[in-house]
Amino acid sequence: MKSKLQKFAVSMSDQTTRTVVLTIIMSLFVLIAGAPNASGGVGG
């Protein structure tokens, strides 16, 4: 039983880590792949 719990905990941890990494990678991707312009440092 303890072993199953440990496996479950490891599995959850791995999934969480992978989800966080994927989210960070995709956030960086859209930040540099897209070209939206919010003002670009031009004062207003």
Partner 1 sequence: MILLTAVIAGLIVALIRARAGERQLQPLRLRFEWLVVLSFIPQLFAFHLPATAERMPDTLAAPILVITQVLLIGFCWLNRKAPGFWILGIGLGLNFLVIILNQGLMPISPETVTRLVPDAPQGAWQVGERMGYSKDIVLNITESKLWLLSDRLMLPEWIPYRVAFSIGDIFIALGAFWLLWSLGDPDKKVKE
Q: What is the token pair recorded at 6?
A: 């440990």
What is the spatial distance between Cα 28 and Cα 18, in angstroms, rounded to a whole number? 15
Supply the minimum distance, in Å, between the C-beta of residue 20 and partner 1: 9
Binding mask 2-41 for partner 1 (x = CB under 8 A): ----------x--x--xx-xxx-xxxxxxxxxxxxxxxxx
What is the spatial distance between Cα 32 and Cα 29, in angstroms, rounded to a whole number? 5
Which CB atom, from 1 or from 42, has the smaller least distance to partner 1? 42
Cα 27 off chain centre by? 7
Binding positions for partner 1, rule: CB under 8 A: 12, 15, 18-19, 21-23, 25-44
